[in-house]
Amino acid sequence: MKSFARKADRLLVILSDIEMGSGGPEDDFPHSDFLADLLQTYNGEGYRDIAIDLIFNGDTFDLLKTDYQGKYPRHVSADVALDKMARVANAHRPFFEGVRRFLDHTAAPRRAIFVVGNHDMELFFPAVQRLIQDRINDPDGGPETNPKPVADGKLLFAGIDFSIGRVHIEHGSQADALFRVDATNPFLDHNGQRLLNISWGAAALMDTVIPFKPLLYFHDRLIPKNDAFNLIPEIKELLMGRIWKYWTRDYWKDWLAGGDPTRKLTWTMVSEVVSRLRSQDVEIKISAAFQNRMRSDDRFLLYVIGHEHESGWWSYSNRKVLQTSCLRNEYALLNGGGTLQPMPKSFAEVYMRGDSPIISQLIEIEGPPPPRGYLPDSIFAVLPKVRELLGSEAERAAASAAQHRQEKREANDDG
């Protein structure tokens, strides 16, 4: 252990937004072997004799963008959730093996804790939790291995947040109007099925933007997104057009049919999606909410959040907010889109003595090189297909005019 941390009796290692998918080029994190090796360092020199909690702070798995039988249904039952989680687990066996090896450490206590994020709300299902536990117990899934199960208390599913002493950890999506959910009621009953009570933002994205994943999966990794939209404005036009069509036609058609509890949107909600695409800053900003909480609530000395995919920290008196970036692959756009610079990945370490944090810091690391064929030859290669989907000039002009009329009406109503 580093000399300045020798007075600590517990270490929290907090990772968010890994976003493991179901494999292939559309998977935002094809590096579970790299992650497994990273986890194992915390059983090595300097860490052997200190208790460590490994906390996966939301969006560990990208189940939101994992399809089910080629579609993205808003009605997520336990069967749908299990199918998606099994495919992700099959694509990331080294991760589960790495967690198992971490938990097998005997010189000091070890725990792994999963917090729910907006991309992996399926973790609320007990059946999904059991699947994850089974894969950690036996990453290969083979009956011939039959390993000793992970001891009780070493693997926890914390729900929407996790607190230990005076440290509070949550993904952060509860401070995002798009993805806030009723954490006390994660399920709803509909037509004899228990379904995930998804956020309105998740419902809208499943119906509009996520189905473009096979075409635009790589462009979702570009940072900042405004630069990508400025370089390829047709992508922004395509997404906004799809959202507009969804609200003016598809949504109301389904709403009039009645009875679907996941249809709980208003135009104000949908326009939030549109405004993020239309504004000069489409990136989400939740850190201000936690800075306000830090100032007004002294129960916790440290808040650790993720969700924004952007690292930072803020302090007030003896309190602090620490925000990790993501571990998934993201790329900065340079030279007019001709160069893709891998973004560094960061996570948090918090050393504790008793109930109090004594050292908290961001750890920034360079990720492994991408697999062969993972990077596109050009980010502009999608343009012909995007233009085809946009339709004729007349169709595009009519859609744009209709959107502007609606925005003008809303502006007048607000006035």
Q: What is the DSSP string of 219-244?
A: GGGEESHHHHHHH-HHHHHHHHHHHH
Cα–Cα separations (whole angstroms), residue 171 to 111, 121, 305, 322, 337 = 18, 11, 5, 12, 31
Query: Is residue 24 pLDDT above 50, yes or no?
Result: yes
Query: Is residue 29 pLDDT above 90, yes or no?
Result: yes
**pLDDT bracket for residue 280 (50, 70, 90):** very low
Q: What is the pLDDT of residue 402?
A: 78
* Bridge partner list, 193: 190
Greater pLDDT, 53 or 287 = 53
Domain ranges of the chain: 3-176+284-375, 203-283+377-415
Taking the whole predicted model, whether its pTM rises above 0.85 is answered as yes
Second-level CATH architecture of 3-176+284-375: 4-Layer Sandwich (3.60)
E strand or H helix that includes residue 56: strand 51-57
